[in-house]
Every structure is written in C-alpha cells, then in structure tokens.
Amino acid sequence: MDTLINAAREILETATAIACLTGAGVSAESGVPTFRDAQTGLWSTFDAQRLASQDGFADDPGLVWRWYMARLAGVEKAMPNPGHFALAELAWRMPDFVLITQNVDDLHERAGSGDVIHLHGNIARFHCNRCGREHSLQAEDRSASLPPYCTVCGSYVRPSVVWFGEGLPEDALAAAVDAMTACDLLLVVGTSGLVYPASELPQIAKWAGARVLEINPEPGPLSSMADICLRGPSGEILPRLLGN
C-alpha cells in the first residue's frame, strides 16, 4: 500500500486542479451508516430506495418521516472523521479544489470544507412537498408520528433531499460537471458508484483527460477507470495521502 500511496501522492503534488466526489463511505467512520448499510442496520426490513421516494412518502408519510428523524439524529450526533478533515486541509493547500458530495450530512462543512456541492440535498433542511415553502424544524416535529403540515398550503413537509426519481438541483449538477471537465485530478472517495447521474461524473473527468484516484475498501463500477485504487478506509488513507 505504501508504494501506491507514494505514487498517488506524486500525482496529487503535480495536479493543478483537483475535484473530489464523495459518497456515504466518507462518513462511515463517523458512524453514519452508508446507504446500503442502512439496509442492513436499523432499517433492514425496509427498502431504503422505497423510503427515499415520492411513492414511499405517499404510501406511508409517517414511516418516511420517522426514518428521516432517526437518520437526522444520527448525523447530528456524528463527528467529522480524519477523512473529512484531510479533504478540508487539501482545499487549503490547493487553490483549485472543488468538493462534490452525494451525502446529505453536513460533516464536510463541520470539518471546515467550504462551498461543498451537495448533489442530493441536505437532511437538516425541510420544505413543503407541494408548494416548496421552506420549513424550520420545530422540537415537536422530531418526535411526531407524522410529518408537519405546511403553514401555507397544508401539505406535508419533507426533508430537502433528492429522492429517487427526482431531478438533482440543476445548479449543483452543472457545477459538478464543470468541475469534472476542468480538473486534471479526480478523487473518488467512498462511493459505490451505483446511483445515477452522480455515477456518470467520473467518466466526464476521464474523458477530459484527468487522472482518477479511487479511495474505497471495496472495488466497484468506478474502479476500472481509476489510475490508482487505494483499498482502505478514507479516514486512514486520506491523511496518509496528505503526508499526515
């Protein structure tokens, strides 16, 4: 692994514009279950992809609401891990560094990363499912058995995350595509590369001539386009990549 880390460090040191795409794996060591783990952990009897959808919300708004309140509580209790801090440090070192995440937690921000591009929204923000009016979470909402009602139109409030079957925020996706075409190095950290359209982003970087480093204990569909695959937890690998 040392040889690979040294080779990766050399690529990092010669890069002039770095983009980084993170997934749930970067928060795993903070105790936030990855999306797939969420299917083996507390919620193993539910299909997470069903819960994170308009149909799932229409079917059982109370179940979906309680699922998000439980996940939000987990995110609020979690602390950023050395992987998050290493990416924040990298942004300080590299004038041209763009961080794009599929995660709905705020651990990158709490580690000091600024201007994080969130492709799938933010679990701590809420809006009306019909009229879009923003809703600030009240204490009583957290233990409620049903979602709160919008004060304007009376529809249910939902978390401001992108559900399956919903489009990604156009500005976030456009900024991510721009970063992929402009970078000469892409770091792909802790993502299974299974969720579209985020999973298409690394290919754009590759076509634009960027080198790709994958950091993930497991291989996946994105591994074949990586110049170097660092097989291990990002909380250990990223600090070593930065020489810490």
Q: Of residues 138-177, which lie at the interface with Zn ion (CB under 5 A)?
A: 150, 152-153, 155
Given the structure tokens 């976030």, which residue do they identify? 172
Residue 150 touches which of Zn ion, ligand BV8, none (CB < 5 to 8 A by kind)? Zn ion
Among 70, 73, 131, 146, binds Zn ion (CB under 5 A): 131
Residue 148 touches which of Zn ion, ligand BV8, none (CB < 5 to 8 A by kind)? none
Tell me the C-alpha to C-alpha distance, in Å, between residue 149 and each of 7, 70, 91, 119, 241. Answer: 54, 19, 40, 26, 47
| Amino acid letter for position 181 | T
- Answer yes or no: 120 catalytic: yes
Q: Give every CB contact of residue 67 below 8 A, 6+ residues apart in sequence.
A: 43, 46, 51
Identify the CA nearest to 189 among candidates 28, 37, 11: 28
Residue 167 touches which of ligand BV8, Zn ion, none (CB < 5 to 8 A by kind)? ligand BV8
Nearer to ligand BV8, 57 or 97 (CB): 57
* DSSP classification of residue 156: B
What is the smallest separation between the CB atom of 119 and ligand BV8, expressed in angstroms?
A: 7
Structure tokens given for 159 = 């978390």
- Cα 134 to Cα 151: distance, rounded to the nearest angstrom: 10
Catalytic residue among 118, 120, 127, 135: 120
The neighbour count for residue 244, using CB atoms within 10 Å, is 10
Q: Of residues 12-31, which lie at the interface with Zn ion (CB under 5 A)?
A: none
Residue 147 touches which of Zn ion, ligand BV8, none (CB < 5 to 8 A by kind)? none
Q: How far is CA 163 from the centre of its chain?
A: 14
State the catalytic residues: 120
| Contact positions vs ligand BV8 (CB under 6 A) | 23-25, 28-29, 34-36, 49, 52, 102, 104, 120, 161-167, 190-192, 194-197, 216-218, 220, 233-235
